[in-house]
Amino acid sequence: MRTSRLFPTFAAVSLSGIAVGGCGGLDASNPVDSDLDRSSEAISPEDDCGGMGDDGPGVGDPCVVGIGACRNEGVTLCSDGVLVCSAVAGTGTAETCNGVDDDCNGIDDDVPGVGDECVVGIGACRALGVLQCAGDALACSAVAGAPVAETCNGIDDDCNGELPSDEGDDDADGVLNCAEQPVSDSDGDGLPDDDERAGTGGFVTDPFDADTDDDGVSDGHDAAPLHAACASHLYVWDDFTSDPASRWSVVKGNWAWDGAGGIYSNTDASDGNVTWLGPRPDLGDYVVEVRMRPDPGGGGDPGFFFRSTAVSPINNGGANYYVGLYPSSDLVILSYFNGRWNPFAFASYRIDVGNFYTVRVRAFGTRFRVEVNNTPLINATNGVYSVGSVGFRSFFAPASYDYILVCD
């Protein structure tokens, strides 16, 4: 009598497919009636697909292998006792912009450059975006803005790559040319009226007088428009409207700044009190003008030195020329120091303690001229020193200084 036989169960078909299911379960020693003719016959393992041969469950079902452009379709077959897909996955190629996953990595159109930052347009039309596929090529996702009429804002509004000339800043003051307020120059000296009133160039001058100091040089071209002595170069101008501590080096004495009055003073009544501007070997021939005042509390002489190459806290030390005012004897004395005091010219002039005097020295070559309050007093020659700096000195005499000017 023939015994019954159960068919084995098959696994589900794999869509990624190489092997898609088992089709074994019998062996050659177990005969089956494979053609249903009611007779037993031997079978080989490779022909055994679930006991039904090529007609086993899953055989002939649709299947798929690969992804993207590599995807191919086929049907399941029984091979060596295993269900496999008849299709073979394609080979990936370089990715291009075509809406297809060419390199079969699961991402469409991931060509090199996609996602990189990009810019379109210029000026006010400039826009930022990222590169993306558009058709068969890369394109920026941004859309350039629309140009508009130019306005006074320093921006290329019409997106032509250029700024109008009136949107520049010719005077580098941070204000566009087109936004500058009209400038008034009433006397035509080249200086705006407001600048002359405010002393923007260092001197407060008359906006209605083109040559305030009447030296024949217009204020706009004058190195020192308040001082007829200067016409070419201004080397030093200090009116002590700001703290001199960062500019002047005190060698000896009690030097103090009165910010309210713009005065630099020495209150020490001992000998040889000195402060100066430091070495200036570049200064040779020049005019030095100082407005100064002998103050109460001493019987000596205040003054200033010039052509100085060295200073010293020791009285009469250093190397320089010196002009001093002597209230006790009503004298103006011109001298030089080299460890000793060496006077070589003097003149009589009334000097009162508590009064300001404008003292000017013209030093050109070996010739010297000394003026007090615009009055010429001394003409002399001396060749000891030819270059050097300037500074203040007081000898047993407190003194105050309103300004110092050095020019040629």
> According to the model, what pLDDT value does residue 20 have?
46
> According to the model, what pLDDT value does residue 81 have?
85
- Integer Cα distance of 142 and 128 in angstroms: 6
Residue 110: CB atoms within 10 Å: 15
> According to the model, what pLDDT value does residue 2 have?
37
Which amino acid is residue 195, in one-letter code? Answer: D
Residue from 356, 355, 404, 359 nearest 378 by CA: 359
> According to the model, what pLDDT value does residue 34 have?
39
> Encoding tokens for residue 220?
């706009």
- Integer Cα distance of 50 and 58 in angstroms: 10
Residue 350 CA: distances (Å) to CA of 294, 311, 324, 326, 328: 12, 29, 13, 9, 10
Residue from 293, 301, 302 nearest 400 by CA: 293
Show the domains of the chain with their CATH numbers: 1-108 (no CATH), 244-407 (2.60.120.560)
Residue numbers of the chain with a pLDDT score lower than 70: 1-55, 181, 199, 201-202, 226-229, 231
- Integer Cα distance of 34 and 5 in angstroms: 11
Which helix (H) or strand (E) covers residue 329, if one does?
none
> pLDDT digits over 110-120, tens only?
999 999 999 99
